Amino acid sequence: MPSLDLTVPAVELTRTICDIPSVSDDETVLADSIHEAIAPLEHLEVYRDGDTLVARTDLGRPQRVVIAGHIDTVPINGNVPTRDILVDGQPFLWGRGTVDMKAGVAVQLKLAAELVAPRVDITWMWYDHEEVDADLNGLTRLARTRPDLFAADFAILGEPSNGEVEGGCNGNLRAIARTAGVRAHSARAWVGENAIHKAAPILQRLAEYRPREVAVEGLVYREGLNAVRIRGGIAGNVIPDLCEVEVNYRFAPSRSLDEAEAHVRDVLAGFDVEVVDGAAGARPGLDAPLAQEFLAAVRAEPRPKYGWTDVARFSALGVPAVNYGPGDPHLAHHDEERVLVAQIEAVERGLRAWLTGS
């Protein structure tokens, strides 16, 4: 099992963590390494649920903050091990997970080890299965088994945000729109009905759709409704009797999940539509006192989070939450995933300053 040295600089720790593959459903080796590194720390109470780890201070502070990050990545595509590169003269760490979101996890692990007397009590969470369906998410499981661990006055997710603070997040919904036909030999196509051809109006509606830009508590969220996958066809000489168009809707946190579903059904009226996955968004919550203190400490101008993140889980529990981590979100999941070294260092400084009051 690879060992983690939590005394090295956060950049070096990022490199070590990224070089331990942890694609979703294969996080155990990294979880074991993290557990081995934090278990001896006397100022932390450590709890493990599968491949999710929680480490808490219990100093009797009047306020508690949750700081969390997921340890899984999307599949590797020739981008492990990590390497150092220069882009426009600036040093980057390149490789799978550097952006989403092992650099953020490395910063959190280093601070968890070093901050023995922070000004607030801290619950650190490192969890599995974030990059897959919501029902597999480690936080979903933890919320069922230990909901008490989510009690806090404020939460920070280490999702990549270019070292800036991103408030709230868009909701996320996936649906399948289906068309039906009649199978036939393609040499006698007139005997059948082509289900793939019948899907053309679905694609036309989506191509013509104009997404909204919605202001929520001072931040402007951009929506999106797109076809992301098409399935259909039986063989090269058979008229297909079924076609499925998978649709992804990213919606502003002003809309509930029910409202988002109703909107998708309205856009695709007349077609058989099945919602297969969905998660509500999160309002920014930046008016919370701790959120205001945090913004001041890290000197950040808040921005909206366009993607869905687990801030929504905390928001649903009444805990205001933000995204704050190194890495450009545009490079998340990219084959050229890379994080600016200076951002790792800046996020570490920002969190340290706020948590220590220095």
Active site residues: 72, 130
Phi and psi for 197 in degrees, rounded to 5?
Answer: -60, -35
CB 101 within 8 A of CB 157: no
Distant-in-sequence, close-in-space partners of 354: CB < 8 Å, separation ≥ 6: 293, 294, 297, 298
| 154-180 per-residue burial string, b: 16 or more CB within 10 A, e: under 16 | bbbbbbbbbbbbbbbbbbbbbbbbbbe
Cβ count near 43 (within 10 Å): 16
Task: For residues 288 and 221, give the distance between their C-alpha atoms in angstroms, rounded to a whole number.
Answer: 20
The alpha carbon dihedral of 229, 230, 234, 236 has a sign of negative
CB 135 within 8 A of CB 78: no
329 secondary structure, DSSP code: G
